[in-house]
Amino acid sequence: MQKSKEPEPYCWVSILNFHDAVELFLELAAEKLKVAKGVKELRFGEYWGNINPILKNKGKGELTQRIQMDKLNDVRIALKHHGTPPPKSAIEEARINVPNFLEENTKTVFDKNFSEISLVDIVQCQSVKKSLSEAKQFLAEDKKEDAIDKVAVAFEELINDYENRKRDIWGRSPFFFGQDLTFASDQFTNKEVIESIVSLQRAVKIISLGIDYRKYSQFKLITSRALFVRQGGDHLIQRLDRTIESPSKVDIEFCIDFVIESAIILKEFDFAVKPKQRHRH
């Protein structure tokens, strides 16, 4: 969806992404329904003819959006095999038709609502998973402010969990870039210097963890009203004046996806440190 909204020619690749999503869905549906493929894999257009009879026998209706998906397949073939750029209208149609295809057919084949499926389930840190699940629930209830708070907490929990498992015997972190000066402005005469140092410390930490800083900057702007602080080991959200327009549902979904993506990035190279015991002399 994000790629489809980029300028040309970068948006062209979204056609391949949309097509892959549909084809993978059809392949998974065929596996679920035990479609006999014979000695060769089914072609894209053959799935409907093989899946629909089974669905009808089960009293579940049939797969929808056949005409729209055939058009998507034609555009994809033209791009991938003949180098023909997709027209802007084809990209806009795919952006509408593919979500509709998934919404309509996930319920038919898997007895689940597509909107309920989430990558939150693959997040391993339980506190992060809990906060993200609560954020999604708040969003479903149109409680956007509460959802933003939970997403802000989830991200900080994710960073803290990863960093805390890397500390040595003295409690030192390899991602330590100087004392936290967030609340130290009263001790210094130059507030601007403190703000600059705090910003640099945060930026270096995010980049050193391999997280996309440009996406982080968007995440930070959207969650600007929610400042995560610690107080006696508890999670406390400090509500700030918003500096941008109230976030939309799409904005909050981006933030949830960003935290999940960051969790996947951190998991790609994760390690736990078992520091030696400190002995008293």
The answer on 127 and 247 residing in a single domain is yes
The answer on 197 and 96 residing in a single domain is no
The answer on 129 and 257 residing in a single domain is yes
Q: What is the mean pLDDT of residues 72-100?
A: 96
Q: What is the mean pLDDT of residues 160-164?
A: 88
Between CA 224 and CA 188 the distance in angstroms is 24
The answer on 173 and 77 residing in a single domain is no
Burial of 270 (C-beta count, 10 Å sphere; 0-12/13-18/19+):
exposed
Rounded percentage of the chain residues whose pLDDT exceeds 90: 59
The answer on 82 and 124 residing in a single domain is no
49 domain residue, yes or no: yes
User: What is the count of structural domains for the chain?
Assistant: 2
Q: What range does the domain containing 66 cover?
A: 3-116
For the cut 80, the answer to whether the pLDDT of residue 233 exceeds it is no
225 domain residue, yes or no: yes
127 domain residue, yes or no: yes
Residues 6+ apart with CB under 8 A from 130: none
Domain boundary among 97, 116, 135: 116
The answer on 140 and 7 residing in a single domain is no
279 domain residue, yes or no: no
87 domain residue, yes or no: yes
Domain boundary among 116, 146, 179: 116
The answer on 165 and 255 residing in a single domain is yes
Identify the bridge partners of residue 228 per DSSP, sorted by sequence position. Answer: 237
pTM: 0.67
153 domain residue, yes or no: yes
Contact 91, 14 (CB under 8 A): yes
Between CA 15 and CA 92 the distance in angstroms is 10
276 domain residue, yes or no: no
pLDDT band at 172 (very low <50, low <70, confident <90, very high): confident
**CA-based nearest residue to 120, from 94, 98, 103, 140:** 140
Domain boundary among 116, 137, 161: 116
Q: What is the mean pLDDT of residues 218-222?
A: 91
- For 9-34, write each residue's pLDDT tens digit: 999 999 999 999 999 999 999 999 99
280 domain residue, yes or no: no
Identify the bridge partners of residue 238 per DSSP, sorted by sequence position. Answer: 227
The answer on 251 and 126 residing in a single domain is yes
The answer on 137 and 81 residing in a single domain is no
Planar angle of CA 42, 48, 53, nearest 5 degrees: 110
The answer on 182 and 97 residing in a single domain is no
The answer on 138 and 110 residing in a single domain is no
Q: What is the mean pLDDT of residues 137-161?
A: 92
The answer on 177 and 87 residing in a single domain is no
